[in-house]
Amino acid sequence: MLNADHDSDAGGGRSLTNRSDACESERNAPGRDAEAALLRRLLDFAASEPELLADLRQVREHGPPGAWLAAGYVRNLVWDRLHGRAERTPLDDADVVYFDPACPDEAAEKPWEQALAAARPGLRWSVKNQARMHPINGDEPFAGVADAMSRWPETATAVALRLSSDDQVEALAPHGLSDLFAMKLRPSPLQRDPSLFARRAAAKGWLERWPLVRLADGSGPIGVPQEERIHPKEEASMTSLGYINGRFVSLEELVLPIEERGHQFGDGVYEFFRVYEGHPFMLEEHLDRLYRSADLIRIDIAPDRDELRAIMDELVTRSGLASGDIYLQVTRGVAPRNHAFPSVPSSLTMTIKPWRELAPGVREQGVQVLLHPDERWLNCHIKSLNLLPNILAKQAAVEAGCFEAVLVRDGFVTEGSSSNAYLVRDGAIRTHPATNHILGGIARIAVRRIAEEQGIPFIEEAFGPEELLAADEAFLTSSGIELVPIAGVHGRGPIGSGSPGPVARAIHARYAELTRQR
């Protein structure tokens, strides 16, 4: 339970406010950390909403002592922000709750409503003394506001804010904040009437107002029979989705400021993850490379690894994609254009989309590649946003009718424009060493492990174009294409028999098996 103070009106809960010494939780250490992070996000949301702060001030000045602004006002604010909306969803009313067992008369609430309406017209103020609400659902008398809120129909609605006397925003959430920020509708475990939740969800239209909101069981809109609901992993429910700095949004709503440094300078790094059966393949290796690249260009990635994993898991869950591609990008943030590093937080965005499928026959027949000068910078081991030479090389390959451009620097093959390149000679695999001249691919790591497992020599040694042409077979790898055999080089002739060879077939067969393992 998150609670903003120890006063009696809160029902004896613990404090969790923007004061660091108050961050506690009943859960284990990871749970405490997660709830504390969500609390910080909620308080950040509140601090950036002048209208909310003004309304909290009105409640403090003109409402009952110790009162909270609660329920839909706070929930809607969070869900609007997570949907990337610039304007707030209109409120049915502004719920103010307090606890005064000495005066449980409903008539005593009206003067507070009138005072708030006079001070802040335009809102329909609803003031309720929680000390008189327990008979409605046959509960025992409540111990305080938190106790009363814990019995509200939905966990995500059981949240409240208030402004302390020293202008600190305080939060109260007896069921925690995870359901609110995950945009999951879940009935309160303490609600006595199990049908109330379903009736409210159907009547309120929350799933229609906020398309990213879902029931906690993953099902669709209230009232649709379970057997008619589309399974989250079926094709019909697949959807692309985005994430930007704490908000899950549709791709149409994923908009970046013009002064985003990734946009103006390419000042950032990225990762590409392929999702199989709901799980990103070789996730830890991808995260290792992401943090290594960010360290090399001195960008601090604000979420730690555990938080990134949680965000990606939620992105996959919300999208309903069992198989998909996640693109993750971290930049140096948003600041007025200046080459020097700004003192601003980094920016994190992600998207998930359905797989980009290979054209029919590509893996079975092999592909043609184009030899092209490697004109990239000397830090290719950093997965930088700066990809212009790669793009030009790829376009040259496309215009030549080829699948990929194989890059050549100082007489040696380095890699493809978006892949690693290998040849096979006398049963051994050769590929360029993992130096600053190539990006060490995650699929490359998988190939090396599979080769070692199968007793195939894996030699990290550069080779030239003539050696490539004289190879028994050759292939390309990346997370997006897995493994694709090279049948020939544009204008130079076939490699080996001109068909996929046994080593490439064996490596890919095992690679495909690994993607299905957990």
Question: Does the pLDDT of residue 234 top 80, yes or no?
Answer: no
Residue 422 pairs with which residues in a beta bridge? 431, 475
What is the tens place of the pLDDT at every residue in 179-204? 998 888 999 888 777 778 878 877 77
Per-residue tokens: 384? 């930088």
Average the pLDDT over each of 25-29, 319-323, 407-411, 471-475 and give the range with the smallest value. Answer: 25-29
Strand ranges (E), 117-267 = 125-129, 160-163, 169-172, 184-185, 214-215, 241-244, 247-249
Whether 411 contacts 434, CB under 8 Å: no
Which amino acid is it at 379? N
Domain annotation covers residue 215: no
Q: Does 278 share its domain with 199? A: no
| pLDDT band, very low/low/confident/very high, at 415 (cuts 50, 70, 90) | very high
What is the tens place of the pLDDT at every residue in 353-381? 998 888 888 999 999 999 999 999 999 99
Distance CA 268, CA 262 (A): 6
Q: Does 250 share its domain with 130? A: no
CB atoms closer than 10 angstroms to residue 279: 17
The whole-number average pLDDT for the span 316-320 is 91
Domain annotation covers residue 72: yes
Using DSSP's 3-state secondary structure scheme, residue 466 falls into helix
| pLDDT band, very low/low/confident/very high, at 24 (cuts 50, 70, 90) | very low
| pLDDT band, very low/low/confident/very high, at 289 (cuts 50, 70, 90) | very high
The residue from 353, 378, 399 where one domain ends is: 353
Distance CA 62, CA 103 (A): 18
Q: Does 15 share its domain with 88? A: yes
Q: Quote the pTM value.
A: 0.59
The predicted structure's pLDDT at residue 213: 82
The CATH number assigned to the domain holding 496 equals 3.20.10.10
With left for phi above 0 and alpha for psi between -120 and 50, is residue 36 left, alpha or beta? alpha
Per-residue tokens: 242? 């985005």
Nearest Cα neighbor of 345 from 260, 249, 288 is: 260
DSSP class of residue 230 equals P
Q: Does 203 share its domain with 248? A: no
DSSP class of residue 280 equals E
Q: Does 26 share its domain with 159? A: yes
Average the pLDDT over each of 35-39, 295-299, 437-441, 482-486 and give the range with the smallest value. Answer: 35-39
| pLDDT band, very low/low/confident/very high, at 48 (cuts 50, 70, 90) | confident
32 phi, psi to nearest 5 deg: -60, -45
Q: Does 505 share its domain with 410? A: yes
Question: Does the pLDDT of residue 122 top 90, yes or no?
Answer: no
Question: Does the pLDDT of residue 272 top 70, yes or no?
Answer: yes
DSSP states along 386-426? --HHHHHHHHHHHHTT-SEEEEEETTEEEEESSSEEEEEET
Q: Does 160 share its domain with 135? A: yes
Per-residue tokens: 385? 């946003």
The residue from 318, 353, 388 where one domain ends is: 353
Q: Does 13 share its domain with 107? A: yes
Domain annotation covers residue 2: no
Domain annotation covers residue 26: yes
The rounded mean pLDDT for the chain is: 87
Domain annotation covers residue 466: yes
Q: Does 136 share its domain with 278? A: no
Q: Does 164 share its domain with 182? A: yes
Domain annotation covers residue 455: yes
CB atoms closer than 10 angstroms to residue 205: 11
Helices H, strands E: what count in the chain?
A: 16, 22
The predicted structure's pLDDT at residue 422: 99
Q: Does 341 share its domain with 370? A: no
Catalytic positions, written as ranges: 383
The predicted structure's pLDDT at residue 80: 84
Per-residue tokens: 99? 């606890």
Question: Does the pLDDT of residue 494 top 70, yes or no?
Answer: yes
Q: Does 27 share its domain with 90? A: yes
The whole-number average pLDDT for the span 36-45 is 88
268 phi, psi to nearest 5 deg: 180, 180
Q: Which domain holds residue 499?
A: 362-515
Into how many domains does the chain fold? Answer: 3
Question: Does the pLDDT of residue 294 top 60, yes or no?
Answer: yes
Nearest Cα neighbor of 304 from 102, 485, 33 is: 33
What is the tens place of the pLDDT at every residue in 448-487? 999 999 999 999 999 999 999 999 999 999 999 999 999 9
Distance CA 260, CA 364 (A): 43
Whether 424 contacts 474, CB under 8 Å: yes
Whether 63 contacts 98, CB under 8 Å: yes
Domain annotation covers residue 180: yes
Q: Give the percent of the chain with pLDDT over 90.
A: 67
The residue from 336, 353, 370 where one domain ends is: 353
Q: Which residues contact 517 (CB under 8 A, 6 or more apart)?
A: none
The CATH number assigned to the domain holding 338 equals 3.30.470.10
The CATH number assigned to the domain holding 101 equals 3.30.460.10
Whether 346 contacts 289, CB under 8 Å: no
Using DSSP's 3-state secondary structure scheme, residue 176 falls into coil
Domain annotation covers residue 349: yes
